[in-house]
Amino acid sequence: MMQAATTVHDERLLPEQFADLERFAPYWAVNGHEARRYQRHDTTMEEVQRFYDTVYPRADEAMKYLEPLGLRELTGADRRLAQMILSLGQASMSVEVHRELRVPYSSWPNKLKILGDDVI
């Protein structure tokens, strides 16, 4: 289920102060919990670790940048930054908790379904 961030010609993938993280946006800036979970499971542990090691140190700064913006009003680069930070939550499960891409001893894909609209 590999998705890619869509961009308008000449638009930055992320806000300028986060340009160093743009290489991760095409893969990790996806809409919805389910899509982010699939992204985590459809890559390698090395790639998840690389994403985590690069983005985690900037997460607080990204959250402070996004905090005054309305979640439902996020567009473009700001929206992709928020989506990447949410993907970081998925990556952290693999890096910090399971130490592998999927939950050990669980079926894949599982039947877990998050109900409600995916705002971001």
Kindly report the pTM of this predicted structure. Answer: 0.79
Q: Where are the domains of the chain?
A: 1-120
Percent of the chain with pLDDT over 70: 78
Cis peptide upstream of residue 109 (ω within 30 degrees of 0)? yes
Task: Assess contact for 51 and 91: CB atoms under 8 A.
Answer: yes
For the chain, give the mean pLDDT.
Answer: 84
Percent of the chain with pLDDT over 90: 51
Summarize the confidence of residues 12-24 as an average pLDDT.
95
User: What letters, b where the CB count within 10 A reaches 16 and e where it falls short, cover 30-63?
Assistant: bbbbebbbbbbbebeeebbeebbeebeebeeebe
Select the more confidently predicted residue: 112 or 17.
17
59-108 confidence digits (pLDDT tens): 999 999 999 998 888 989 999 999 999 999 989 888 888 787 777 766 65
- At 101 the pLDDT is 74
Count of Cβ atoms closer than 10 Å to residue 100 Cβ:
12
- At 112 the pLDDT is 62
40-53 confidence digits (pLDDT tens): 888 899 999 999 99
